[in-house]
Amino acid sequence: MSAPSATPTWRIDFDHWPYPSIVAHRGAGKLAPENTLAALRAGAALGQTMFEFDVKLTGDGKPILMHDATLDRTTSGSGLAGAFTLSEISQLDAGTWHSAPYAGEPVPTFGNVARWLRSNGLMANIEIKPSPGREVETGAAVAVAAAQAWHDAVVPPMLSSFSEAALEAAQHAVPILPRALLLHRLPDDWPARLHRLGCVALDANHLELTPEIVARARAEGFRVLTYTVNDPARARTLLGWGVDMVITDAVDQLRP
């Protein structure tokens, strides 16, 4: 997989921030099967304009939407997702586990999701979710696939990951794509980590945030994203502190 032949001219930094304040988590990941086109459609029907979703590679290197390392929780399959080919995974049911109306919903490819988002004028927060041991491969592959899919878009997708190795690989593969480091706990050196990875934003567990942390991030030149906030009052508090993006499952209560 190669990078796009034409270099995009995106500029996403502290002063150029085109993203909404509310982002739908895994599509509408509670109202419909998470990380499926059905979930994205459900969120879009409620007015959501940007969607967070997880991308990993199949055994034959194809990017698909899936959160877990294994197939067991969200599909009719069993075992490591990275051990199966795209052809094998495409035969699985990724909807029945959620509810009967979604029986037969497939595991979507990244390409199909990107085309659907682009055709509907919607934005993406792509979480790079590598299978264990495939961090570098996944980070690079997802960054290149995202750059190809959005090469002529006005607003590029945001890449994020808990894996610093994956984000570093994405940085090397397509440095122009904006990146955010996901952190469940904030280590003392979190600003240095973000600077090293060339991130435009911190993406933190909302329980880790304080007004002082948000102010420090902004002073360091970073925007602030936070997950997963499902209480509208808490979301209002965080936005009042200066948080730029709240990622939520409560897509019917919190809207951009």
Q: What is the pLDDT of residues 106-157, one digit of tens each?
A: 999 999 999 999 999 999 999 999 999 999 999 999 999 999 999 999 999 9
Q: How confident is the model at residue 7 (pLDDT cuts 50, 70, 90)?
A: low
Q: Are 156 and 175 in contact, with CB atoms under 8 Å apart?
A: no
| Residues taking part in catalysis | 25, 67
> Who's near 24: CB < 8 A, 6+ residues apart?
40, 43, 48, 50, 51, 52, 247, 248, 251
How high is the pLDDT of residue 60?
Answer: 98
pLDDT tens by residue, 44-94 = 999 999 999 999 999 999 999 999 999 999 999 999 999 999 999 999 999
Statement: residue 2 has pLDDT above 60: no
Which amino acid does the sequence have at 234? Answer: R
pLDDT tens by residue, 183-203 = 999 999 999 999 999 999 999
Statement: residue 3 has pLDDT above 60: no
Backbone region of residue 57 per phi and psi (left: phi > 0; alpha: psi in -120 to 50; beta: other values): beta
Vertex 116: Cα angle to 114 and 117 (nearest 5):
65
Statement: residue 5 has pLDDT above 80: no
Torsion angle of the four alpha carbons 86, 90, 91, 96, in this order, in degrees rounded to the nearest 10: 130
In the structure encoding, which two tokens stand for residue 151, read together? 């090469």
In the structure encoding, which two tokens stand for residue 91, read together? 């035969």
Q: What is the mean pLDDT of residues 160-177?
A: 98
> Who's near 91: CB < 8 A, 6+ residues apart?
none
> What is the rounded CA–CA span in Å between residue 188 and residue 5?
40
How high is the pLDDT of residue 14?
Answer: 85
Statement: residue 179 has pLDDT above 90: yes
How high is the pLDDT of residue 215?
Answer: 98
> How far is CA 32 from each of CA 27, 73, 98, rounded to the nearest angstrom?
8, 14, 7
> What is the rounded CA–CA span in Å between residue 189 and residue 171?
20
pTM of the predicted model as reported, rounded to 2 decimal places:
0.95
Give me the percent of the chain exceeding a pLDDT of 90: 94
Q: How confident is the model at residue 13 (pLDDT cuts 50, 70, 90)?
A: confident
> What is the rounded CA–CA span in Å between residue 93 and residue 76?
5
Statement: residue 20 has pLDDT above 90: yes
